[in-house]
Amino acid sequence: MVELLTQLKPLFQTSRPLLSVLERADLEKLEITSERLLHLFKNAPQDDRQGLHKLRNLVGALRGYSELICEDFDRVKTPELLQHLQQLGKHSSEIDLSQPPHSESDEFDSDIQSHGVILAVDDTEENRDLLSRYLQRNHHEVITASSGQEALEILDTTPVDAILLDLIMPEMDGHEVLRRVKANEALRAIPVIVISGLQDTPEIIRCIEAGADDYLFKPFNAVLLQARIQAGLERKRWHDKEQAYREQLEKSQRFIRHTFGRYVSDEIVENLLEKPEGLKLGGDQREVTILMADIRSFTTICEQLDPGRVVKLLNIYLGAMSEIIIKHLGTIDEFIGDAILAIFGAPTSRQDDTERALKCALEMQQAITAINKANLLEDLPEISIGIAINTGSVIAGNIGSERRSKYGVVGHTVNLTARIEDHSRAGEILISESTLKTSKHNLSIGRSECVSVRGINEPLNIYQLLGFDDKSSSDTNL
Amino acid sequence: MIRILLVEDNELNRDMLSRRLQRKGYLVVTANDGNAALNLMREEQPAIVLLDMNLPIKDGWSVLDEAKEDPTIAHIPIIALTAHAMEEDRQRARVAGCNDYETKPIDLPLLLAKINKLTNNNAY
């Protein structure tokens, strides 16, 4: 009785959303009754006569409500609940009411022995009865099946914690049932204990190879049966726990992916997930190609638009750009207003970091046409961008404080890129000499300029990138 | 419509049983203690009373005694509801004037049959 009530609890929770307000109210009353009954079992009253009275009242209410709800549920919204309620009604009519409740608290609280729903499959009725009796004595709930087919049908609809399986049955024998259970993704985890009529070791070996978890010989010993069931249930419980844990993990990974994926490439996210120690502060020096882009006269645009529309404009723009950068395996280091800082070569460096940066820039410029089309529809102003690319060494890693840090790059190369970007005009891509030299492809260059920039003594050569010159890469999907 | 007075102090049982009876087409009046039960018997003149014997303040036995001594309500049949299945209780209820006796938990079809029998015979 106590087990049944405890078992009902989660069912109440899951069924609740499916029910109407009135049905829910009834179910809640049933729940209250169950709670009180559990309480009564846990804290048996001193006075026997009073205890008996309470017990009978509660069992009466329990039975009444379950019958009441069953009557309501003839349309069977939640067959599982209905089944449990009918069971509850049956149990409550069978409960021994001649004795006042004695505190079951010891048994109830110490959950050393786990109880479960056991499916006993045997074609002989006496064996089924015997198994049921043994199992019920150990507080398991027993479902019996008289054939392999019936067993599979039950497994299809009812969650079961362990299966006791007779091997020799007409039509579908135990081996076949076992095979099907283990071939079914949803059932595979249920421990199967096979029961063999003979001490037939090769037969048992065959079963164990086919995935059986344990075995018993007939006539079986009740203590041994309980021990094997216990072990099986324990395994199942661990498996369920592990499963829940795995699901939780996947959920949090999805969350991390979703949250961070908006800002960093999937690659960094994967790195983080695989090596969380990678989150520790610090970095290393490495050769990267840096891409910086910004919208020309963005300040003026901002002045002419209301804030909501500015954000809309930025979202369209940054969304399209992020996609292109990530497609070319770049890492978006930062958005600062309309400005984008992307890195190629960190956290993972590849042979073609520079080429990918260049292709990415070309594609970004091309994408502006489409963005402007979209802007036109939204009644947003046209935009144009300037891009600068520079190659050099940086410190890359998690930079910041323990409280707030981000993967990023710092160093002279970064600053220099920003200076080059200052010189770019609308629609232009400017690359530094180092990038030009690193590129393994011939580039088609437009204007070139020698500029002096803040922070460096020597003047700097910058080149306007028009495209790739060699066939090998011009046929890429730009 | 047949009017039933249900006297029951346990609110869950009262709620449950009254609704189940209503569903079967009875008009159900409820009381949760002995005094209220007697007052309602006089005012409402129910066709039958379902009386829980284990009531607070004035228990079912006192209600039974008083009811049987009051000529205005003495004729109303009473079914005692008790949690005690002991034979002495049953005897005591009979002697005190109960028409019938039901043990909790209530088996509804059985109770309905008894109600039916007693309310049909009410003509005499």
The answer to whether position B53 is within a domain reads yes
Residue A106 banded pLDDT, cuts 50, 70, 90: very low
Residue A99 banded pLDDT, cuts 50, 70, 90: low
User: What per-residue confidence (pLDDT) applies to A478?
Assistant: 44
User: Has residue A263 got a pLDDT over 90?
Assistant: no
How big is the CA angle at B64 (ends B58 and B67), to the nearest 5 degrees?
A: 105
B107 contacts on A by Cβ (under 8 Å):
93
Report d(CA A95, CA A58) in Å as an integer: 12
The answer to whether position B106 is within a domain reads yes
List the CATH number of the domain containing A164. Answer: 3.40.50.2300
> Are A404 and A285 in a shared domain?
yes
Across A230-252, average pLDDT: 79
Q: Say what the ipTM of the complex is.
A: 0.71
Residue in B closest to A33 by C-alpha? B12
Which of A236, A261, A286 is the endpoint of a domain? A261
The answer to whether position A184 is within a domain reads yes
> Are A11 and A41 in a shared domain?
yes
Query: DSSP strand E in chain B: where?
Result: 3-7, 27-31, 48-52, 78-82, 100-103
- Tens-place pLDDT, residues A297-325: 888 888 888 888 888 888 889 989 999 99
Averaged confidence pLDDT in chain A: 79
Report d(CA A107, CA A1) in Å as an integer: 13
The answer to whether position A4 is within a domain reads yes
User: Has residue A372 got a pLDDT over 80?
Assistant: yes
Cα–Cα distances in angstroms (integers) from residue A317 to residues A17, A194, A249, A416, in the given order: 43, 64, 34, 24
> Are A28 and A169 in a shared domain?
no
Higher pLDDT, A180 or A79: A180
The answer to whether position B28 is within a domain reads yes
> Are A164 and A153 in a shared domain?
yes
Count of domains forming chain B = 1
User: Has residue A107 got a pLDDT over 50?
Assistant: no
The answer to whether position A271 is within a domain reads no
Across A411-418, average pLDDT: 88
Which of A211, A229, A261 is the endpoint of a domain? A261
Give me A429's structure tokens: 């891509």
User: What per-residue confidence (pLDDT) applies to A290?
Assistant: 94
CB contact under 8 A, B105 and A68: no
- Phi, psi of B77, rounded to the nearest 5 degrees: -65, 145
A39 contacts on B by Cβ (under 8 Å):
none
Residue in B closest to A66 by C-alpha? B16
CB contact under 8 A, A53 and B19: no
User: What per-residue confidence (pLDDT) applies to B27?
Assistant: 92
Per-position DSSP letters for A355-389, written without gaps between them: HHHHHHHHHHHHHHHHHHHHHHHTT-----EEEEE
Chain A residues with CB-CB distance to B under 8 A?
29, 32-33, 49, 52-65, 67-68, 71, 92-93, 97-98
User: What per-residue confidence (pLDDT) applies to A474?
Assistant: 45
CB contact under 8 A, A65 and B84: no
> Are A85 and A119 in a shared domain?
no
List the CATH number of the domain containing A357. Answer: 3.30.70.1230
Residue in A closest to B14 by C-alpha? A61
CB contact under 8 A, A71 and B23: yes
Pairing of strands A331-336, A339-344: antiparallel
User: Has residue A410 got a pLDDT over 50?
Assistant: yes
> Are A85 and A134 in a shared domain?
no
- Per cent of chain A over pLDDT 90 is 19
Which of A81, A109, A137 is the endpoint of a domain? A109
Helix axes A48-72, B11-23, angle to 10 degrees: 40
Substitution target in A31, A56, A58, A73 with the highest count of B β-carbons within 10 Å is: A56
The answer to whether position B57 is within a domain reads yes
Report d(CA B70, CA B2) in Å as an integer: 22
B12 contacts on A by Cβ (under 8 Å):
29, 32-33, 57-58, 61, 65
The answer to whether position B89 is within a domain reads yes
Min Cα–Cα distance to chain A from B123, Å:
31
Across A412-440, average pLDDT: 90
> Are A448 and A315 in a shared domain?
yes
User: Has residue A98 got a pLDDT over 80?
Assistant: no
Q: Rg of chain A over CA atoms, in angstroms?
A: 36
Report d(CA A41, CA A28) in Å as an integer: 20
Domain that holds residue A57: 1-109
The answer to whether position A269 is within a domain reads no
Min Cα–Cα distance to chain B from A22, Å:
12
Element (H, E) at A118: strand A117-121
CB contact under 8 A, A56 and B103: yes
How many Cβ atoms sit within 10 Å of the Cβ of residue A78? 17
User: Has residue A409 got a pLDDT over 70?
Assistant: yes
Min Cα–Cα distance to chain B from A33, Å:
8
> Are A158 and A94 in a shared domain?
no
The answer to whether position B105 is within a domain reads yes
User: What per-residue confidence (pLDDT) applies to A289?
Assistant: 94
Domain that holds residue B63: 3-117
User: What per-residue confidence (pLDDT) applies to A388?
Assistant: 95
Count of domains forming chain A = 3
Residue window 24-53, chain B: list those with CB within 8 Å of chain A: none
* Partner residue opposite A60 with nearest CB, options B19, B85, B104: B104
Spatial CB neighbours of A148, under 8 Å, sequence gap ≥ 6: A121, A169, A171, A172, A173, A174, A176, A177
Q: Which of A98, A78, A74, A95 is nearest to A12 (CA)?
A: A78
> Are A292 and A386 in a shared domain?
yes
User: What per-residue confidence (pLDDT) applies to A11?
Assistant: 62
> How many alpha carbons lie under 13 Å from residue A90 in its C-beta half-sphere?
7
Residue A401 banded pLDDT, cuts 50, 70, 90: low
User: What per-residue confidence (pLDDT) applies to A2?
Assistant: 61
Helix axes A174-183, A148-157, angle to 10 degrees: 30
- Phi, psi of A69, rounded to the nearest 5 degrees: -65, -40
> Are A44 and A58 in a shared domain?
yes
B23 contacts on A by Cβ (under 8 Å):
71
The answer to whether position B99 is within a domain reads yes
> Are A69 and A80 in a shared domain?
yes
Spatial CB neighbours of B23, under 8 Å, sequence gap ≥ 6: A71
User: Has residue A389 got a pLDDT over 50?
Assistant: yes
The answer to whether position B122 is within a domain reads no
Tell me if chain A has a CB within 8 Å of the CB of B11.
no
Substitution target in A27, A29, A50, A53 with the highest count of B β-carbons within 10 Å is: A53
Min Cα–Cα distance to chain A from B120, Å:
25
The answer to whether position A176 is within a domain reads yes
> Are A47 and A127 in a shared domain?
no
Higher pLDDT, A401 or B2: B2
3-state helix, strand, coil in chain B (%, to 5): 50, 20, 30
List the CATH number of the domain containing B24. Answer: 3.40.50.2300
Provide block-wise average pLDDT over 10 residues at a time, chain B (124 residues): 90 87 91 91 93 83 88 90 70 77 81 84 44
The answer to whether position A174 is within a domain reads yes
